[in-house]
Structure 1
């Protein structure tokens, strides 16, 4: 069974990531979301087009963030003034392709772990080539 992956943010980085994932794993269960829905249209038929970030998060085991600013990351993960992530990410890997500066990324990582998720950001770690997650991370590395 392949991992279910969602990409939130379909600008140039998110679009490259979607293409790389589909090329690496043609049978991937891919869900896409962007605040501008038209950015996802090129992938209709190859991916599920979510109507909200929350829907995209719910549909996945791996959440790929391709968002330009920390504000958009916070909105997606429902992270408000207390710094806690309230979106349902328990058991999920959150991959940040355009992470904020190091100190902010560390705080975000701690908040994701507190919410039961795992966090990694570009450049992505290399893992055993046989694991489905590792193959997907390798494809995402090529998109950054």
Structure 2
């Protein structure tokens, strides 16, 4: 099978999630560790609980801020129009062309990736119609 742009985008999203999550976890672990060390608790268990509480509190604040930014910055109008069109069984209208990939980008191999993997052209899988056995 060929390498397609939408497959490339899916891989890119997964990679960004993994690379973005690692520093976030590191920062939260550092916050929890420093809060644990600075705790004046009488036992180690209480100090650890205090540190993890601070880490989770910071994570919750960041999640709330991200949720608010998402609600404020993403347009709901386009989403509602798409949902209504889907309920009616219609394709997106011409005003929604910016939401669809151009015809040239639909399930065609990505030439940049193919040239990066040695210039070979992998075969494109095209399903064959089933023959009636009657």
TM superposition score normalised by structure 2? 0.20
Structure with the largest fraction of strand:
1
- Higher helix proportion (structure 1 or 2): 2
User: Rg larger in 1 or in 2?
Assistant: 2
Structure number with greater CO (CA < 8 Å, separation at least 6) is 2
